[in-house]
Structure 1
Amino acid sequence: MSAIELFHVYNERQTIEAFFKTCKEVYGIKNLRTSKFYGIYGFLWLVFITHNLITLMKNTTFNLSKLQNMGVQALIKKLGNISARVIELRDTIEIVLPSLSEIAKSFVEALQPKYV
């Protein structure tokens, strides 16, 4: 390989290594309780889907809120600890948050429908 090709191959490796480090710290991959191939395979797919959905929410729904600049780890740790009660009504769903911290308020505001 040329020096340029080697640089790009190594750089791609660093990207996936950083992703797996994040997955271990944020999504709990290091606590995986199976050594079976399909168990690991399925778990990794769920992690990839979760990560992509959180990234999508940050770039779309949260793009005009304080949450847009938060890291994935901070979002998971802070929003994941908020307890809520979900009430299904006839035509709507009501989400009751018992105590609204500053981050919970930002989350609720970001989820509000926007009208033109």
Structure 2
Amino acid sequence: MKKISAVLLVGLLSGCTSATLVKAPGVSSIPSEYAPVNAGSDNFGTVKYLDEGAAAVRDARKKDAYKKMYEACNGKYAILDAGSSESNPTFSTHGNLTFAATSSTVFINFKCVE
């Protein structure tokens, strides 16, 4: 029974350990026919990951972010800056109690190097 529980836990957590490539390097951040003339392709990319949960899960998300940057740049990249952002609170009411929850996301801007 313990073995089955451990396998289920690993399966559930594996879906929560990924980063998202928000913008690939060399792609315009404003893909619109109405964009300003200086909105050509940027030489930087952005990746994000959720910065919450157990340390091992956060480390796995960060490692996945590094992997996404590595793959986007065919190997070599440099981090330009990184920062985190808090979401607006989400409220939940249970009986007479109301709870508020926020989440923290890390954003990393990077560029490909030769």
TM-score (norm 2): 0.24
TM-score (norm 1): 0.24
Bigger share in strand: 2
